[in-house]
Amino acid sequence: MSGFAEPVSRRGLLAGSAVAASAVALASCAKGDESGQASADASADASRAAQAGDAGSTGPENREETMGGDIVAFDGKHQAGIQTPVQAHVELVGFNLKKDTTARGAAALMRLWTEDARRLCTGENPLGSLEPELSTTPANLTVTCGWGEGFFDTVDVAKPSWLRDIQAFDHDDLRPEWGQTDIVLQICSDDPFTAAFVLRHMTRAGKDYADVAWIQQGFSHAYGSAPKGVTPRNLFGQKDGTVNPRSEEDFNEQVWIEDGPFAGGSAMVVRRIHMNLDTWEQLDRAARENSTGRTLDTGAPIGAKDEFDPVDLDARNEFGLKAIDENSHVARAHPPAEHPEQKLLRRPYNYNLPPTPETTQRGELSNAGLIFICYQKDPTTQFEPIQARLDEADRLNEWITHIGSAVYYMPAGTEGETYWGESLIRS
């Protein structure tokens, strides 16, 4: 459908394209000798470029050595892009439905976007797209869709009880330009070019139904720069995601909604966090680790040896004092014994933008931070109580400020030709 209001328009375009293609084919037969010579010349040019060394090449010589064709399955019980290992790049896009978009239009948008995302994630060209060359390298592409309160209002479907604005916190400095939207698309890929093209395509395809409210672009470590399974780092140098769920049992307990009409889905919370790198870098390593509660090199809890060793808040150092500061980030985030459910899946990305007049006035050299994306069953029993403890006394509050906030229901996965949230919209 790609930019066309009705499905018939896209198929009409394809029919017209087929007629045009037939005419081109007839014309090409008359020029067979010329095209054959051109093909031979092109092959010769390619051979000479290979011998001389192609200065424009950015990858391995053999396609088999690249990961451009790597595919993450689009369909399944849950949407891809949640349990999927973090890719190198994210285009997180918030959309608001147009005022004249009806429930029928919102359903058409979901059908359209799902069809196109399914094709893009498998390296296929979406129907009606004239850029087939731009969709051939998915590079572990995932496109994950979420609904805000406004979408539920439009389709006149009861929303989850937890789907509301995240409670206000004292250290927040929330900006409206990074606030709640009706829909979110999380577009992730190990190829920034692919992520950018998919962003453009999905925006263009949905233009009759929704407008872009904001785009948050982020990055993690490049594909292959570290062994698989290594916890990524944020711009403070901290490993971010050490306590994430690992097993299917963990995901079932912490992330996936199990019962009711929203089963198979999850809750996404997005927090845009500004990080003051200048004042953070004034600290020595000991002070940085004390604030975090973990060593910077291994990510191990202070007093332990391995990143994944249990956090022991009662451990003592050689002076008999608590090894982990009770107001360190890890101590404040740690779930109390009486609330083991206070855990979640962290899927953060870094951002680094040009300084603004505001950051320059504050004496900062950078405009950097974290796109903190997390998934859970219910933010009111998971994210909010964790963040309340952090807001109260986390030592990292001196160097970070939450400037954006949004929450979404992420529908269950799809099968065959079904679209995102179809069972809810049709109910």
Of 162, 125, 130, the C-alpha closest to 147 is 162
Structure-block tokens of residue 247: 């097993």
What letter does residue 307 receive in the DSSP assignment? T
Please state the φ and ψ torsions of residue 94, each to the nearest 5 degrees: -100, 130
Q: What is the pLDDT of residue 66?
A: 82
pLDDT at 427: 77
Helices (DSSP H) in 247-328: which residue ranges? Answer: 248-254, 277-280, 285-292
Task: Please tell me whether residue 175 adopts helix, strand or coil conformation.
Answer: coil
Where do we find the tokens 């001389």?
Answer: 52
> 224 — alpha (psi -120 to 50), left (phi > 0) or beta?
left
Rounded Cα distance, 361 and 264, in Å: 47
Q: How far apart are CA 323 and CA 316, in angstroms?
A: 5
- What's the residue count for the chain? 427
CA pair distance 117, 258, nearest whole angstrom: 25
Identify the pLDDT of residue 205.
Answer: 98
pTM of the complete model: 0.86
Query: Mapping DSSP to helix (H, G, I), strand (E, B) and coil, where does residue 409 land?
Result: strand
Across the 427 residues of the chain, what is the mean pLDDT of every consecutive 10-residue run? 39 40 40 44 43 45 75 98 98 99 98 98 95 97 99 98 98 98 99 98 98 99 93 98 98 98 99 98 98 98 97 94 97 97 98 96 96 99 99 99 99 97 94
CA-CA distance, 57 to 54, in Å (whole number)? Answer: 6
Helix 103-121 vs helix 192-205: angle between axes, to the nearest 10 degrees? 150
Q: Kindly calculate the radius of gyration of the chain based on its CA atoms and give it in whole angstroms.
A: 24
Q: Residue 39: its pLDDT value, please? A: 43
DSSP alpha helix (H) spans, 206-337:
248-254, 277-280, 285-292, 329-333
CB 236 within 8 A of CB 366: no
Give bridge partners of residue 405 from the DSSP assignment.
Answer: 271
CA-to-CA dists, residue 43 to 28, 63, 226, 305, angstroms: 19, 17, 37, 57
Do 192 and 88 meet the contact criterion of CB atoms below 8 Å apart? yes
Cα 198 from Cα 134, distance rounded (Å): 9
How confident is the model at residue 38, as a pLDDT?
41
Report angle CA 120, 24, 44 to the nearest 5 degrees. Answer: 75
DSSP 3-state of 105: helix
**Residue 327 contacts residue 229 (beta carbons within 8 Å):** no
> Which single residue is written with the structure tokens 């918030």?
94
**Residues carrying an active site annotation:** 240
Angle formed at CA 195 by CA 127 and CA 165, multiple of 5 degrees: 100
